[in-house]
Amino acid sequence: MPDFKIIGNPSPTVGEQQTYSIQENLTLNIPVRDLSSEKTNPFSQDIHWSIYQLINNKWILKPKNNKTGSVVNFNFFQATLKYEGIKLIAKRGNDEAILYIKTQKSIERKIVHVDFLDENWNKPTRPFTYGEKLIARVHCVNLNKCAGSVTLWEDDAPGSGHSIINKNNKVITLPIFIEEGKAEAKFFLAPDFAKIANSQVANGDKDEGEFHEYYVTVEIFNQKTFESQNVNVKNPEYEKQQSPAEKKGTSQKETKGIKSEEKIYDYLEQKIVVKPDPSFNPIMEKYDSIFKVDVGDSIWNRKNGTCACKENNFYWSSKLTCDERKKVLEVCSKLWGEDKKKDKASELMAIMHLETGEKNIFKPYADNGADYSGLIQFSDDSAKKLGTTRAELKKMTFIKQMNYVHDYFASKKEISNIVDLYLHVLKPNAVGNGNNPDYVLFDESISVPDGDGSQTSLEQRKINIGREPWVTKYGYSSNPSFMKGEEHTQRKKWVYTKQRFEDRWGFINGKTTVADVMLELKEMHFNPGAKYLFTGVCENIEEENDNTSDRAPWMEVVVNEAKIYGGKKQNLIQDRITMYHKEGASYLGKKDAWCSSFACWCLENSNPNYPSPHSPGSRSFINNKNVEKCEVFYGAIATFSDCNKNGIVESSGHVTFVYGKINGTDNYAVLGGNQNNMIKVSSYDCSGNVFHSHYSAKKKRDVYKKFMGFFKPKGYEIKTTEKLTASDMYSNPDEANKAIGLSSIKTVKGEKDD
């Protein structure tokens, strides 16, 4: 038997990244001196990982997935659902541990990964050259029979990320059709591409260097646009640019962190190097030190000194906006001090990642369906103690709700490690036991005063379930994420609050210990966050020669939504509209009126984060503390009220954004949601005159509209660059739509809107 075992999920959901590590089979009677030996010290030897597939009763090695490291990440694709068997082997010296894997179906639809292959369908072992074929293989989950497109881009953005700098670097778009969870797009790297790539260099570069970088974006159904990693193509002009005696040092491309032979694996997303605690303890070393993860140097030389996103990096930070990152650091600094803020920010983000779940990751409106909501899943009681309600918390922005996260932890004591920090959320009366792996948090075997609750009223059962000893007894089955291996099985379980049997995870009379919580936090929520350090170009840093930040910042969000979802009827983007309602207005009522929810969402998701009325009512923009009236400019919020032909104002209306002006008229080209049931540019009269909007079948009469004014976020200073110029003039709205890329949109006379 090996002296270690594999820790990780044996039943991973396809398309979800999984983390696997080893755990020593340590016992209390092992002397400390033995633990420091090469055989027993988990950090003294490399761990080699391999994946095997069972084919016709034979285990076949999949060598392209071999890894080395104490902790590794794998992503199992949809095709593995049909495998006869999968086993994961971890080998250290002559010892090896085995974990048998059985993948599970996913309920989500998503784009998972993109592999780059050469024309022989192999992973490239060298950079591509012009004149060759480059194959982009797209891996998806639950998108079979869906059509989509893959677009090839040349990357001129500084650093390893992509940005609006590349907006003019589009090479070609090819259609794809998903079958068996994947699809391929074959690109011919024409020599002419090299000339285009060499015509424009990355910001700060003198030339394109030895390699050109390319990447692809994938668009399928209602999915968010997926961006791949970069792949290198040899620059044919490079040798000509160097004199015979000249030896070029590190290229500008290499300074961006792009290697010429970057390997991309089917399963592994990123290897994480784990550091041991210098003071090795035979029992707690394996628990405490697993949260010390080496992610390398993240110090950033800021251009203008206006932001320190990279200098103050923390786990999962790339999932937040600049202002949200600052807010997390501000809260952690107040709670635990300036010197600990980054470490505590990573811990807090791991906890919020666990509590909000993958579907609504880091969303303030996340709700578990069992009366807990928000970033740390506030209960009704905890919200009341903080002077608010769960309903109000769900309406808040991330930044505002973080104030309540601060207040929740502000009165807490004895926070020695991440487990104790999480116990304040999970089970406050257990705080102080974060260093005790054997401490039992939940125990289904204990008795409660009212037995099965059959003689207890529903109202009393709802009260009891939040008290001891009911919390300890029923907390086990209510927290299946802490169950591992065979324990993660279903059985018929008596549900106290519902007074009936239901299928629930876990063993009969099972227990959850601090060690179970520690491993779940580490494997699924803390370590994976190392992959999501902020590495892009901060949205609050003004790039040289990039004037996009000189014009209403929220319009980048508006235009981007139009590029992805524009021109599609409401029924085709209903999931996206529901998200506008939830995030922009916390509104799930009359779903066919969504112009205001769209406008609020765009404002609140821009950078910096601008306040909005946070309301589904378009007329809320007319008289709201978060906006103020202004003159027209690019990005101004144009508001209209429904009225009769005599100009008598009614209760409903429309809200949209100024995109430009229609030549020779009083009309403006306005870009917004729910314009003929889609996101697009339309022409609206902003002279103040009453104009005909559309015929309402519901009201059985014509609807007229009246312009009510231009508005902007309160306190926002209009810049001279935001004044409408000749470049913002269009002959008609079709021309404006084409400028965005919506070439198929046609003007509809008497357009229907909110």
The length of the chain in residues reads 754
Q: How far apart are CA 340 and CA 331, in angstroms?
A: 11
**pLDDT of 719 above 80:** yes
Residue 747 has pLDDT above 70, yes or no: no
pLDDT at residue 283 tops 50: no
* Average pLDDT score over residue span 637-644: 91
Kindly report, residue by residue over 568-607, the tens digit of the pLDDT. 888 888 888 988 888 788 765 666 789 999 999 898 877 5
d(CA 336, CA 356): 23
pLDDT per position as a tens digit, 353-366: 999 987 788 999 88
Task: Give the three-state DSSP class for 692.
Answer: strand
* pLDDT the model gives residue 239: 59
- pLDDT at 202 > cutoff 60: no
Share of the chain above pLDDT 90, in %: 28
Mean pLDDT of all residues in 493-505: 88
For 381, other C-beta atoms within 10 Å of its C-beta total: 11
Local structure of 100: helix, strand or coil: strand
Name the average pLDDT for the chain.
80
pLDDT band for position 664 (cuts 50, 70, 90): confident
| Residue 205, number of CB atoms within 10 A of its CB | 16
Q: Does 206 score more than 70 pLDDT?
A: no
Q: DSSP 3-state assignment of 176? A: strand
What φ, ψ does residue 626 adopt, rounded to 5°?
A: -90, -10
Instruction: List Cα–Cα distances, 31 to 1, 254, 280, in angstroms.
Output: 20, 48, 12
Question: Is residue 276 pLDDT above 60, yes or no?
Answer: no
pTM of the model as a whole: 0.39
| Two structure tokens written together for 697 | 């079948």
pLDDT value for 753:
64
Mean per-residue pLDDT for 628-635? 94
Q: In 506-588, which ranges are E strands?
A: 511-513
CB-CB contact of 440 with 446 (8 Å): no
CB-based contact 197:547 (threshold 8 Å): no
721/291: higher pLDDT: 721
Helix/strand/coil (H/E/C) assignment for every residue in 503-554: EEECCCCCEEEHHHHHHHHHHHHHHHHHHHCCCCCCCCCCCCCCCHHHCCCH
- The confidence score (pLDDT) of residue 556 equals 83
3-state SS assignment for residue 173 = strand
Query: Residue 47 above 60 pLDDT?
Result: yes
Over 50: is that where the pLDDT of 41 sits? no
Q: Give the range with max mean pLDDT: 287-301, 432-446, 481-495.
A: 432-446
Mean pLDDT score, 376-396: 91
Q: Which of 190, 239, 242, 248 is nearest to 214 (CA)?
A: 190
Distance between CA atoms of 327 and 375, rounded to whole angstroms? Answer: 13
| pLDDT for 29 | 40
CB atoms within 10 A of CB 498: 11
Q: Is 152 helix (H, G, I), strand (E, B) or coil?
A: strand
**pLDDT at residue 135, as a whole number:** 93
- Mean pLDDT in residue range 667-679: 93
DSSP state of 571: G
Q: What sign has the CA pseudo-torsion 121, 124, 126, 129?
A: positive
**Cα–Cα distance between 621 and 596 in angstroms, integer?**
8
Percent of the chain with pLDDT over 70: 80
What pLDDT is stored for residue 421 in this prediction? 92
Res. 669: pLDDT tops 80 = yes
- Asked if pLDDT for residue 244 goes beyond 60, the answer is no
| Integer Cα distance of 203 and 545 in angstroms | 8
Residue 200 reports pLDDT greater than 70: no
* Cα gap 361→314, rounded to integer Å: 16
DSSP element (H, E) containing 598: helix 595-604
Does position 305 have pLDDT exceeding 70, yes or no? no
pLDDT band, very low/low/confident/very high, at 754 (cuts 50, 70, 90): low
Does the pLDDT of residue 537 top 70, yes or no? Answer: no
Other C-beta atoms within 10 Å of 726: how many?
A: 7
Predicted pLDDT at 465: 87
Compute CA 514 distance to the chain's CA centroid, rounded to the nearest angstrom. 28
- Could you give the C-alpha distances from 191 to 129, 196, 235, 239, in angstroms and in order? 9, 9, 10, 16
Please give the pLDDT value at position 746: 63
84, 87, 78: which is closest to 52 by C-alpha?
A: 87
* Mean pLDDT within 201-205: 54
The answer, yes or no, to whether residue 35 has pLDDT greater than 80, is no
Q: Has residue 290 got a pLDDT over 60?
A: no
Question: What integer pLDDT is reported at residue 749 of this predicted model?
Answer: 52
Q: In this structure, which amino acid lies at residue 339?
A: D
Q: What is the pLDDT of residue 607?
A: 58
Query: What backbone torsions phi and psi does residue 463 show, to the nearest 5 degrees?
Result: -75, -45
For residue 520, give both structure tokens: 């779940």
625-631: average pLDDT: 91
Q: How many other CB atoms are there within 10 angstroms of residue 35's CB atom?
A: 18
- Residues 413-463 have pLDDT tens digits of 557 789 999 999 999 889 889 889 999 999 999 999 999 999 999 989 988
